Amino acid sequence: MHADLERVIALQRLDSEANAARKKLAEVPEREKAFDERLSAATQQIADAKAALAVNHEARRAIEKEVAVHQGRLSKYRDQAMAVKTNQEYHAIQHEVAHAQGEIKKHEDGLLERMVEADDLTATIKAAETRLSTEQKTIDADRKRMQSEDAALQASLDALVAERATIVAKVDKRVLATYEIAAAKRQGIAVAEAKDGGCLVCHVRMRPQMFNEIRRNEAIVQCENCQRILYYVPVAATQASQSS
C-alpha cells in the first residue's frame, strides 16, 4: 500500500476517535446542568410542600380565631338567656345560640380538614426529603463516575493527538492538504473505502479504470463526487477481519 495512503487511513481513524472524544467532553456542562436540575427539582418539591404547610398553619390559626370568637358569643348568649323575661327574647337568644353553634361546628370541621391536610403535607415533606437524599447520593455517584470517565477520555484524546502529530510529520504536505480540505468539506470524513465499483460513503459509482487504480492502493485517488481519498480492502483481508 502507498505509504501516505496508509497514513491518511490512520489519520482518519485517529481524527474520528478524537472528534468523538471531543464531542463527549463538550457535553460535560450539559450533563452537569442535568445533575443540578435533578437536585433542583427534588429540592423544589420540598419547598413547595413546606410552603403549602405554612399556608395550612396560617389557615388553621385563622379558623381557631373564628372558633374562639363564636365560642365567646355562644357563652355571652347563654348568659343572656338566663336573664330574658319574655318568650320572644328567649327565642331570639336561642336563634343566636344555634347560629353560633353552627358556626363553631362549621369551623371545627374546617379545622379538622386542615389538620388532616397538614398530616398529609408533613408526610409529603418527609418523603420528598428522603427522595432528595437518595437523589443526592445517586447524583454524587454519577458525577464521580462521569469525572473518572472524562479524565480517561481526556487522557485518550491527548494520546490520539500525540499519535496524530507523529503521523502528520511523515505525510507528504500535498497529501495532507488534500486530506484536510476533504475533511473540512465532509464533516471530518476525508477517507472512504471503495467497494464494488463505488464509494461506500457517497455511494456514487466510478469508472472501471478508476476503480481498478484504487484497488491497487498505490496512489492517492479522490472520489470524483465527494472528493474523499479512496482505498480498497482486498476480499481476503475483509474475510480474515470478519472471521477474527
Indicate the pLDDT class of residue 242, thresholds 50, 70 and 90: low
Looking at the fold, whether 60 and 142 belong to one and the same domain comes out as yes
> How many structural domains does the chain have?
2
Whole-model pTM? Answer: 0.70
Residues 6+ apart with CB under 8 A from 12: 179, 189, 190, 191
Answer yes or no: is 59 within a domain. Answer: yes
Mean pLDDT to the nearest integer, 217-239: 89
Mean predicted confidence (pLDDT) in 95-110:
91
Among residues of the chain, what percentage have pLDDT more than 90? 86
Instruction: Mark which of 128, 154, 180 sits at the end of a domain.
Output: 154
49: CATH = 1.10.287.1700
* In a domain? residue 165: no
In a domain, 17, yes or no: no
Do 54 and 131 fall into the same domain?
yes
Are residues 129 and 94 part of one domain?
A: yes
Which range of residues forms the domain containing residue 198?
A: 172-243
Q: Are residues 63 and 177 in the same domain?
A: no
Does residue 20 sit within a domain?
no
Separation between Cα atoms, residue 212 and residue 105, nearest integer Å:
99
Same domain, 193 and 234: yes
Burial 154-180 (b: 16+ CB within 10 A, else e): eeebeebeebbeeebeebeeebbebbe
Cα distances (angstroms) measured from residue 149 to each of 29, 42, 136, 161, 208: 15, 26, 20, 18, 47
**Mean pLDDT of all residues belonging to the chain:** 93
Say if residue 41 is in the same domain as residue 117.
yes
